[in-house]
Amino acid sequence: MPHRIVVLGAGYAGAFAAGNFARRLHPDDVEITLVNAEPDFVERLRLHQLAAGQDLRRYELAEVFSGTGIRLRLARVTEVDAEHRTVTVVDGKGTDSLPYDTLLYTLGSTVADHGVPGVAEHAFHVAARPAALRLRRRLDELGGDGKVLVVGGNLTAIEAATEIAESRPGLRVTLATRGELGGWLGRKARRHLLAAFDRFGIEVHEHSTVVRVDGTGAVAADGRVFAADATVWAAGFAVHPIAAASGLAVADNGQVLVDRRMRSVSHPDVYAAGDAVHTIGDNGLPLPMSCASAGYTVGQAMASIIGDLTGKEVPTKSLPYVGNHISLGRKDAIIQAVDGTARSKSWALGGRSAAWLKAAILRTAALSVSYPTFGMPTRRHRLSTAADPVTGAVTA
């Protein structure tokens, strides 16, 4: 029987991994199933553009993986049973159970409401394609007149606020954050950021913790009221609760706890990568949820899975954190480098050059997914022996 590899999630990490497994492992030895709720690969890092009204290129997963031998299952994951090695999925035909021998968990993250009343009922966000389209429809309804409140002060909030302000100049955009806007940036980068907000006419309220959201806006802890026709919640991300409910060992925030090889510390037949994994980077700090972290962690997870299945030596990949790239509309951006303690360096790049570099990074990420087997070795490795019936791991 072929060794069953199931990959959950076709984001930056999962889609890339599935294609690489198909390229590197012999088809007679493995059966690769990729599970995703949507038929397209979603460029999550561009969802603020989609919400602002821009049309993005489509990457149909069926086309991306055509001819690879990968079984694409368009369904929503509702449960992982780590003890019995099954995944429960739901699609238009009903509920099904998928057995696995090796599982790669890359379900990513979603918006974190932090328990603030009214966020789920009244706020918009850009952490998923359906949510971004819902915000887009609301902005279309407002036309060229209305108030938009963005809650948050980090990367997603900055990109959403500037994108909306640039794409829809008739709207009045306000940002409320509990700290300083871009307070972690170096002096040069923060000056550039504040100048961009002034240029767009975005009103900024720092040290304003929002404690309630309703249909007319939001209320801060000090009683200030921010009137808004649309409130965009961009105050951080949270992982899906599926991992915590599965029996896998997880961190306090629900991320899967793994060893240096991205293998679950509680279930050796489960690996994790991307936003869903809790791992320590080369700087001794937990890697942040980001596209860059997804690339580094899935690179290690792929190497570990292939090594474990084929009996080859598993290399230790680097897990760096080098900085942030932040778009400020289509013609401006900031590239901020960080040091070994994740503190911003004095060096930063801003303006059109940074915007070009940011766009190049996103194009490269999308191409690595849309052509997942391109440039990889053509040799397909055979499994060293049959999978262990208890752990799912391969033993020599």
Backbone angles phi, psi at 22, to 5 degrees: -65, -35
pLDDT number for residue 122: 98
In the numeric block, which tokens belong to residue 271? 């690996």
Domain 115-233 part of CATH 3.30.420.80: no
pLDDT in tens, 220-253: 999 999 999 999 999 999 999 999 999 999 999 9
Please name the residue that has the structure tokens 């019995």.
Answer: 84
In the numeric block, which tokens belong to residue 326? 């932040």
CB 231 within 8 A of CB 123: yes
User: Measuring CA to CA, which residue among 131, 152, 165 is closest to residue 44?
Assistant: 131
Sheet holding 146-151, edge to edge: 203-205, 171-176, 146-151, 230-233
Binned at pLDDT 50, 70 and 90, residue 376 comes out as low
Tell me the Cα Rg of the chain: 22
Q: How far apart are CA 39 and CA 62, in angstroms?
A: 7
Residue type, 110: T
pLDDT number for residue 379: 61
Average pLDDT over residues 19-29: 92
pLDDT number for residue 375: 59
In the numeric block, which tokens belong to residue 315? 């290399």
pLDDT number for residue 385: 63
Burial of residue 313, with CB atoms counted within 10 A of its CB: 0-12 exposed, 13-18 middle, 19 or more buried:
exposed
pLDDT in tens, 146-205: 999 999 999 999 999 999 999 999 999 999 999 999 999 999 999 999 999 999 999 999
Residue type, 278: H
pLDDT number for residue 183: 92
Average pLDDT over residues 299-305: 97
pLDDT in tens, 259-292: 999 999 999 999 999 999 999 999 999 999 988 8
Residue 393: is its pLDDT beyond 70? no
- For the chain, the structural domain boundaries read 3-108+240-321+366-370, 115-233
Same fold, 3-108+240-321+366-370 and 115-233: yes
Q: How far apart are CA 71 and CA 96, in angstroms?
A: 15
pLDDT in tens, 92-133: 999 999 999 999 999 999 999 999 999 999 999 999 999 999
In the numeric block, which tokens belong to residue 229? 């026709």
pLDDT in tens, 59-77: 999 999 998 899 999 999 9
Residue 219: is its pLDDT beyond 80? yes
Average pLDDT over residues 48-69: 94
Cα–Cα distances in angstroms (integers) from residue 107 to residues 9, 243, 271, in the given order: 5, 9, 12
pLDDT number for residue 396: 39
Residue 319: is its pLDDT beyond 80? yes
Residue 390: is its pLDDT beyond 70? no
Average pLDDT over residues 140-144: 93
pTM, rounded to two decimals: 0.93
Residue type, 370: S
Instruction: Tell the CATH superfamily of the 3-108+240-321+366-370 domain.
Output: FAD/NAD(P)-binding domain (3.50.50.60)
CB 164 within 8 A of CB 52: yes
CB 115 within 8 A of CB 209: no
